[in-house]
Amino acid sequence: MSLAAHVLGFVGADGEGKYGVEGARDDILRGRAGSERQKKDSLGQLIDVLGGKDSTPGLDLVLTLDYNLQYIVESKLKESIDRYKADSGSLIVMDPKSGAILALAGQPTYDPNNFSKLPTAEQYKFLSPAASNAYEPGSAMKPIMMAVALDSGAVTPETTNVFGPSVTVLGKTITNAEGKVYGQENMAQVLENSDNVAMSWISSLVGAKVERQYYARFGFGAKTGVDLIGESAGSLQEEKEWNDLLRSTAAFGQGVSVSLLQLATAYSVVANGGTLVTPHLTEKTLDGEQATALEYKTRGQVIKPETAKQVQKMLEDVVLLGHGKRAKVVGVRVGGKTGTAQVPDPKGGYYSDRTIGTFAGMFPIDDPRFVMAVRLDNPKTVKFAESSAAPTFGEIAEWMANYFQLR
């Protein structure tokens, strides 16, 4: 296995870094050639050296990756793709307080030692799918929408309503998975049951303008600034396009697209008390014995700390009582949310036979040290993310609980 191929990238025949950190940090790694100003006679013979600049060697970079965790993440992702017969997948683990990425994996991948042998049609494999491949995340977006509703004052955790089997918005009918009806729910139960009808109602209390403003503040529709080549900004339509239907569907993760990295960064806002961090893969430069830390700015306070705490508690309830039970870890409090997203059909609507399973979460929930997001594309042996992405999350979190001595 070629470990961390999407993170590392490679150096091309021209000596330039390509893809991954090699491409994104080429200016640091490659150094600069020297120059010399010369005086010559009419025959081109050197008369004098007038000055110049010495060459400067490149610096070494220290990555944020944890080698052992990276190995486990890549192995478990591959196992899950095989087990659930998924087309592809990606996975990220990050420190929500600093934005440091501790593991980043994607399948299919490539061998950076033999990159030149990859056919042109397969060179998309050079890009990290977690950063470059945007998708509609489905119900994994609901905790973000709940944070918006709580922070804006549209609801409180105790807000209760009775929700039926469907709601019609601008002529389109919104239903729950498998047509389920949940009746009376408070806000925690809305997330536990993953109620689309309820999310549509909650979004109506917030309003399209405020919803979109918060989504932008969470970082959707803009690149995170991660030190990788080929990052996607996803899509967040202009404010004028946010009618009541888009407002409703965006509340449960349809009509907007995000990368897995953007989703993990948004969950980090909930995990760290409300701040949008800059995800990154490089920690410091080394010049011989001299180490210099690289600085990454936070990008603003998105939600209030008390809002973050409220959503953390709701996410724990999802794992204990809702669709996230298979992400549980004995002795560690975990919070998270599933998403079984439909895949848009370029001809219009959504495919009836394709889904993307996501689980995004954090732990330990009382003071989260880790955010993890798992994406499995078109798994074929199970129907919902609670049976694919959630157990993948749980297996890795179980290993991490031992490795990082969390219990």
| Tokens describing residue 223 | 């690149």
CB neighbours of residue 210 within 10 Å:
18
C-alpha Rg value of the chain to the nearest Å: 24
8 A C-beta contact, residue 157 and residue 187: yes
Query: For the residues of 326-346, what is the DSSP string, one character each?
Result: GG-BTTB--EEEEEEEEEE-T
What would you measure as the largest C-alpha separation in the chain, in angstroms?
94
Q: Is 139 a residue of the active site?
A: yes
166-169 vs 17-18, strand pairing mode? unpaired
Q: Which of 375, 341, 371 is nearest to 89 (CA)?
A: 375
Tell me the two tokens of residue 71. Answer: 């190995």
Closest CA to 128 of 23, 221, 220: 23
Report the length, in residues, of the chain: 407
- 112 upstream amide cis, omega within 30 of 0: no
Distance CA 40, CA 300 (A): 57
Place of tokens 């191929």: 5
Amino acid at 58: G
Query: What type of residue is 254?
Result: Q
Supply the angle between the helices 142-151 and 305-321 in degrees, to the nearest 10.
Answer: 140
**Residue 383: its H or E element:** none
Backbone torsions φ then ψ of 37, nearest 5 degrees:
-95, 125
Structural element, H or E, at residue 285: strand 282-287
Alpha carbon distance 271, 393 (integer Å): 17
Given the structure tokens 């396009």, which residue do they identify?
Answer: 241
Active-site hit among 80, 88, 139, 248? 139
Catalytic residues: 139
